[in-house]
Amino acid sequence: MSDTPRNTAEYEQALGSADAQLAEFEGPKRTLLGHVQHFLHSHPTMVPVIVLALSLVVFGILAGERFFTPFNLSLILQQVSIIGILAAAQSLIILTAGIDLSVAAIMVLMSVVSGKLAITLGVPPSLAIMASFTLGTLAGMLNGLLVTRLRLPPFIVTLGTWNIFFALSLWLSGAQSIRSQDIDQMAPLLKFFGNSFRVGGANITYGSILMVLVFATLWYLLNKTAWGRHVYAVGDDKDAAELAGIRTDRMLISVYALAGFICALAAWASIGRVGSISPQSFYEGNLQSITAVVIGGISLFGGRGSIMGALFGALIVGVFQSGLRLAGVDVLWQVFAIGWLIIIAVAIDQWIRKVSA
């Protein structure tokens, strides 16, 4: 009953004489625009870098000499440092294809916690800061647990925890601010990151240095360690990552916990930056951090983009605000400009994505 089963590939024999020429899609000439598109596709951080360079040039011309003083440039660095650190935490979450609406809420809550402990309850400031680190990590972990265990969308989870953490901040502080003088008197350590040193005319705060260090550390973790590559893999395709042997839930929880820890760092830095501790501060910080990440070219769909993009994104926002202010433009037009910047950044990102590799 056998009819030559081993020759089943017979029908493929024509393959030997098949046309070896494969279809070629690449035309002989690529337009200049095509070259640009290809270059940007293989160097994704170049977009925010170019935008940053261009905006520096444009505002240098518009705002005149005052813009390019070392003092003003270091001031921009100071101004973006808190949102920058939050954007670093936000980038981690967005790389996993999530979004964290609670970063600023965790930060504010942690600044309130350390203020309450150190000023109101008289706990040694170093212990108060350690406590805020621990609680910040736990707050991030709570987000992670809700996302992974209850399988809720990160948007919903963090929308909820944003409100919860905000309410807790109000409750803990009794809706009262802690005055700058009280901090100076009782726990100057809380203001550590507000200290600064001078280089030429520039005034560099420790908070600015902290921001750069946070980004450098995360860059290393994301690019040079297995953990970092797994962050990208999970954001890229969670099911594939799971099948490939990554414990995606544990990975996600660790990402949210690290983001929470970074928010606690931002909390410490924010006390130095603002001077006082207020539960009402940084109410727009969540969205500002997302703005920086998006302008930095990190995809909201996860798995693509460089952490350094978020740093450049935060700096671009800072340069726009400073430049427009120095050029004498009303604040409302600064907001207007940032709005267009977001839309243009995402449009450019989509355009680069379309490149045929």
**Candidates 11-19, 129-137, 144-152, 260-268 — which segment interacts with another protein by CB under 8 A?**
11-19
Among 35, 149, 247, 250, binds another protein (CB under 8 A): 247
19-55 core/surface letters (b: 16 or more CB in 10 A; e: else): eeeeeeeeeeeeeeeeeebeebbeebbbbbbebbeeb
244-262 core/surface letters (b: 16 or more CB in 10 A; e: else): eebebbebbbbbbbbbbbb
**Candidates 46-54, 232-240, 289-297, 334-342 — which segment interacts with another protein by CB under 8 A?**
232-240
Binding mask 191-220 for another protein (x = CB under 8 A): -----------------------------x
Q: Which two tokens stand for residue 280?
A: 């009402």
**Candidates 8-16, 27-35, 162-170, 319-327 — which segment interacts with another protein by CB under 8 A?**
8-16
Q: Which two tokens stand for residue 118?
A: 């150190």
Would you count residue 347 as binding another protein (CB under 8 A)? no
**Candidates 9-17, 78-86, 149-157, 330-338 — which segment interacts with another protein by CB under 8 A?**
9-17
Q: Which is nearer to another protein, 84 or 303 (CB)?
A: 303
Among 6, 29, 151, 354, binds another protein (CB under 8 A): 6
Q: Which is nearer to another protein, 22 or 33 (CB)?
A: 22
Total residues interacting with another protein, rule: CB under 8 A: 34
Would you count residue 246 as binding another protein (CB under 8 A)? yes
**Candidates 117-125, 134-142, 170-178, 243-251 — which segment interacts with another protein by CB under 8 A?**
243-251
Q: How many CB atoms lie within 10 A of CB 73?
A: 17
Q: Is 49 helix (H, G, I), strand (E, B) or coil?
A: helix
Let me know the angle formed at the C-alpha of 79 by 208 and 284, rounded to the nearest 5 degrees: 120
The whole-angstrom separation of Cα 15 and Cα 107 is 64
**Candidates 5-13, 45-53, 127-135, 188-196 — which segment interacts with another protein by CB under 8 A?**
5-13
Q: H helices of 63-205, where?
A: 70-95, 103-115, 125-149, 154-173, 180-186
The whole-angstrom separation of Cα 41 and Cα 43 is 6
Shortest spacing between CB 90 and another protein, in angstroms = 19
Let me know the angle formed at the C-alpha of 293 by 291 and 298, rounded to the nearest 5 degrees: 130
Would you count residue 357 as binding another protein (CB under 8 A)? yes
Shortest spacing between CB 146 and another protein, in angstroms = 22
Q: Which is nearer to another protein, 8 or 31 (CB)?
A: 8
Among 157, 178, 241, 253, binds another protein (CB under 8 A): 241
Q: Which two tokens stand for residue 63?
A: 């705002």
Would you count residue 2 as binding another protein (CB under 8 A)? yes
Would you count residue 236 as binding another protein (CB under 8 A)? yes
Question: Looking up tokens 């996600």, which residue turns up?
Answer: 252
Would you count residue 240 as binding another protein (CB under 8 A)? yes
Q: What is 164-208 written as a DSSP string?
A: HHHHHHHHHHTT-PBPHHHHHHH-GGGGGGG-EEEETTEEEEHHH
Would you count residue 47 as binding another protein (CB under 8 A)? no
- Cβ–Cβ < 8 Å for 157, 147: yes
Would you count residue 226 as binding another protein (CB under 8 A)? yes
Would you count residue 43 as binding another protein (CB under 8 A)? no
Q: Which of 178, 181, 210, 182 is nearest to 194 (CA)?
A: 210
Q: Which is nearer to another protein, 98 or 207 (CB)?
A: 98
Positions touching another protein (CB under 8 A) are 1-3, 5-6, 8-9, 11-12, 15, 18, 220, 224-227, 229-230, 232-233, 236-237, 239-247, 303-304, 357
